[in-house]
Amino acid sequence: MRRVLRAALILLGSLAAGYMGIGLLVVFRMTAARRRMPEATPTNAGLDYEGVGLTSTDGVRLSGWWVPAEDSRRAAILVHGWGGDKSNEHILKTAPVYHREGYNVLVIDLKAHGESVGGRRTLGYRETRDVLGALLWLEKRGYRPEDIVLHGWSMGGTTVVRAAPGTGVAAVVEEAGYADLPRLLESAIPRITGLPRFFVPGVLLVGRLWPDFDPWSVQPGRQASELWKEDMPLFVIHSTGDGIIPIEHAEMFAAAHPGARVWILEGYDHVEAFTHPEYEERLRSFLQESGVKDRRR
């Protein structure tokens, strides 16, 4: 009887170790750094720029581009998504929209992306510290939070919503972001890895046991509610054709922030709203109505 019990315990232990081991491999894969050189620069979008270095509030050195707008004290921080970088097409096509509206533009590589350092990507958890570091960089140069707009795509959209409460920034734009990371991963992990849903809880548990990474904290729908209480304008952009982040996440943001402006496109893929003929008009309209005044030097 003891032998049977011992064998059963060994078997269960082995199964548990294997289960958690698979979860660990998935976490390694999803958080691995993705550093690379930019494929294009703001020059390709007709903008003059300079390369800049800044520091996340957790001390990680970040790479960025600064696109100045003459005599303007307004600024926008543009933030890419998971696996992207500051040279993504949707960012380089959106930066001129802000520039034409009279904004200085700061584009950053999040930690462990692009040309920034950092060991791991954390799906919007620690990346909030990068956005806060970008805000500090601007404030040291005389830009007030109430003159700054945060704009992010996908994981970047999630990140700017999480970072914004309490900062006093003028407005937030999130495109194709997720409002609840654990909920997203329930469907994303089987799609990305080919594993059955049975392994999702193990992946999330391993993620939570990881030092300074808690996927259950990445539920920016909660922060969207805080933005509503702070009367901070929020623009939610999403498409029914998004094959990566389901439209339900835009609905969650809208429910949490009843005052949000919401634009739901039909048939556009993930972060492709910039290709819509009304994109610039709608974005500039939001900026104008959100009360960011053109305060000259």
Domain ranges of the chain: 19-289
Task: Let me know if 112 is exposed, middle or buried by CB neighbors in 10 A (0-12, 13-18, 19+).
Answer: buried
Instruction: Determine how β-strand 171-175 pairs with β-strand 148-153.
Output: parallel
Tokens of 283: 């974005």
What residue spans of the chain are helical by DSSP H? 2-31, 89-100, 128-139, 155-163, 181-193, 200-209, 221-229, 248-256, 279-289
19-289: CATH topology:
Rossmann fold (3.40.50)
Residues 6 or more apart in contact with residue 14 via CB below 8 angstroms? none
Q: Whole-model pTM above 0.75?
A: yes
User: Do 264 and 196 form a contact (C-beta atoms < 8 A)?
Assistant: no
pLDDT in tens, the chain (297 residues): 666 666 555 555 554 455 656 666 666 677 777 888 899 999 999 999 999 999 999 999 999 999 999 889 999 999 999 999 999 999 999 999 999 999 999 999 999 999 999 988 899 999 999 999 999 999 999 999 999 999 999 999 999 999 999 999 999 999 999 999 989 988 877 777 776 776 677 677 776 676 667 888 899 999 999 999 999 999 999 999 999 999 999 999 999 999 999 999 999 999 999 999 999 999 999 999 986 665 444
